[in-house]
Amino acid sequence: MIQIQLSERQEKIIDIVKANEPITSENIAKTLKLTRATLRPDLAILTMSGILDARPKVGYFYTGKTTFSFISEKIQGIKVAERKSIPIIVDEQTSIYDGIVTIFLEDTSTIFVTSKGYLSGVVSRKDFLKNAIGGLNLTKTPIAVIMTRMPNIIVTAPEESVLDAAMKLIEHEIDSLPVVEEVILDEGDKAYKVVGRITKTTITRLFVELGNNE
Amino acid sequence: MIQIQLSERQEKIIDIVKANEPITSENIAKTLKLTRATLRPDLAILTMSGILDARPKVGYFYTGKTTFSFISEKIQGIKVAERKSIPIIVDEQTSIYDGIVTIFLEDTSTIFVTSKGYLSGVVSRKDFLKNAIGGLNLTKTPIAVIMTRMPNIIVTAPEESVLDAAMKLIEHEIDSLPVVEEVILDEGDKAYKVVGRITKTTITRLFVELGNNE
């Protein structure tokens, strides 16, 4: 992929095609009072970039493709599977106090809680803080008491785009998403296995890489 | 700006120029066993994109410009001033308890602390959590006791790029940066006025906008 700043003449050609499509190169040349040979490189660039479409014996069409779609195409192609990091997981029986210790040991903002190996809850630093000043017995109360429970947990999946995951983080005002794989249990119920996490740190790191052309 | 997927022939031309620069279009055409007229649109695209440079009567040079610089150019152009949000600020005398209440009321991860109106400290949710379980008297202890103090505070400035701010967030493993303006005090000392904040949420929101082509 390469990128090209359109010339004034190329912008004019786009306008002419938009207004008169389909239009032959001869008629574009006439409108601009130039020769067809002069326009050939311009038309080549505009068709190669997908902005114009040329149909033999008919002429040029405007495709409606925006000129700024490159960044978004690149971003939309990045999958959760490529960027997920290791999830921090504790069992439901873990005490709130041990949960807080885990937050510090792992330097994470959110921990995922499982029951029999499947996702049952999520606890954020904010949840811990609220309860740490709330007078609960932190060493004796299991983390299950304060966690956000299924089915109120927002999740993402390996095949989802990082962009979709980032949109969930913003929309639901959370810092972290568990990356899950759906499992059908013997009884026919669905359950989630936690296979990773996507956080605002993941997104910030990706932004830095894109910005530094890595 | 537009983007173009290079053709195989264009990639070949780049290789030929790399190996033989400076080289005339005539010699490139000979190497490829094509006419100069056929190559004209290709050479136009490669020079317009800045990948090749043409000097009259000398020939074509390879500029060494990478083909993927577009995203990073766009990202590098975004300034902190355009994206900063409103900072949450409390005075040094505020109690830790009131600081925690502020964290919840403002739904923020970090608050900035000022003394006489100038930045003196930063307290994160993590700092609060650590001290909430540490046995301090939260309502009687001023926030100044637990804050990270100047000059150990990482800051950004309105004229800095959001990319540089994001790199600081990653490098220093923090969630939020105060956006500051430097002030020279009467005594000649420097101080910072807090005029905004850049957080991982700022970056995630920007990533979503770029990805959605907004």
* pLDDT digit string, tens, across residues A5-36: 678 898 899 999 999 989 999 999 999 999 98
A198: phi then psi, degrees, rounded to nearest 5: -125, 125
**CA distance, residue B191 to nearest chain A CA (Å):** 29
Total CB pairs under 8 A between chain A and B: 177
A151: phi then psi, degrees, rounded to nearest 5: -90, 25
Measured between alpha carbons, how far is B104 from B98 in angstroms, rounded to an integer?
10
H/E run at residue A36: helix A36-48
**pLDDT in the model for residue B194:** 98
Higher pLDDT, B62 or B69: B62
Higher pLDDT, B169 or B52: B169
**Residue A174 touches partner B, C-beta closer than 8 Å:** no
Check: CB of residue B129 under 8 Å from CB of residue A108: no
**Partner B, chain A 17-76, Cβ-Cβ below 8 Å:** 40-41, 44-46, 48-49, 51, 66-72, 74-76
Average pLDDT over residues B195-210: 96
Residue B135, token pair as written in the block:
């046995």
**pLDDT in the model for residue B85:** 97
Which of A110, A124, A187 minimizes the C-alpha distance to B104?
A124
Higher pLDDT, A91 or A38: A91
Query: Which residues in chain A touch residue B169, judged by CB atoms under 8 angstroms apart?
Result: 204
Q: B155-198 pLDDT, tens per residue?
A: 999 999 999 999 999 999 999 999 999 999 888 889 999 999 99
Classify domain A8-67 at the CATH topology level: Arc Repressor Mutant, subunit A (1.10.10)
**pLDDT in the model for residue A191:** 95
| Homologous superfamily (CATH) for B76-211 | CBS-domain (3.10.580.10)
Q: Does residue A1 have a pLDDT over 60?
A: no
Q: Does residue B106 have a pLDDT over 70?
A: yes
The strand pairing partners of A149, in sequence order, are: A121
Rg of the Cα trace of chain A?
A: 27
**Cβ <8 Å between A133 and B97:** yes
Q: Out of A49, A205, A212, whose CB is closest to B3?
A: A49
Contacts (Cβ under 8 Å, ≥6 apart) of B186:
none
**pLDDT in the model for residue A68:** 52
**Cβ <8 Å between B211 and A72:** yes
Domain ranges of chain B: 8-68, 76-211
**CA distance, residue B49 to nearest chain A CA (Å):** 5
Contacts (Cβ under 8 Å, ≥6 apart) of A144:
A92, A93, A113, A115, A120, A121
Q: Residue A73 — pLDDT band, cuts 50, 70, 90? A: confident
**Cβ <8 Å between B107 and A213:** no
Q: Does residue B110 have a pLDDT over 80?
A: yes
**Residue B183 touches partner A, C-beta closer than 8 Å:** no
A interface mutation test: which of B130, B207, B212, B214 has the most A CBs within 10 A? B207
Spell out where A94-208 has E strands: 110-115, 118-124, 148-149, 176-184, 190-199
**pLDDT in the model for residue A40:** 86
**pLDDT in the model for residue B67:** 47
**Residue B163 touches partner A, C-beta closer than 8 Å:** yes
Q: Residue A4 — pLDDT band, cuts 50, 70, 90? A: low
Same fold yes or no, A8-67 and A76-211: no
Q: Out of B51, B68, B175, whose CB is closest to A213?
A: B68
Q: Residue B44 — pLDDT band, cuts 50, 70, 90? A: confident
**Cβ <8 Å between A51 and B169:** no
**CA distance, residue A59 to nearest chain B CA (Å):** 19
**Cβ <8 Å between A169 and B40:** no
Q: Of the ranges A38-52, A77-91, A165-179, B111-125, which one carries the lowest mean pLDDT score?
A: A38-52
Architecture of domain B8-68: Orthogonal Bundle (1.10)
Measured between alpha carbons, how far is A92 from A141 in angstroms, rounded to an integer?
10
**pLDDT in the model for residue B60:** 92
Query: What pairing do the DSSP bridges indicate for beta strands A2-4 and B2-4?
Result: antiparallel
**Residue A204 touches partner B, C-beta closer than 8 Å:** yes
Q: Residue A157 — pLDDT band, cuts 50, 70, 90? A: very high
**CA distance, residue B36 to nearest chain A CA (Å):** 13
Q: What angle do CA B155, B160, B163 make, to 5 degrees?
A: 90
**Cβ <8 Å between A71 and B125:** no
Per cent of chain A over pLDDT 90 is 66
**pLDDT in the model for residue A37:** 87
Per cent of chain A over pLDDT 70 is 93
Check: CB of residue A179 under 8 Å from CB of residue A80: yes
Instruction: State CA B115 to chain mean position distance.
Output: 29
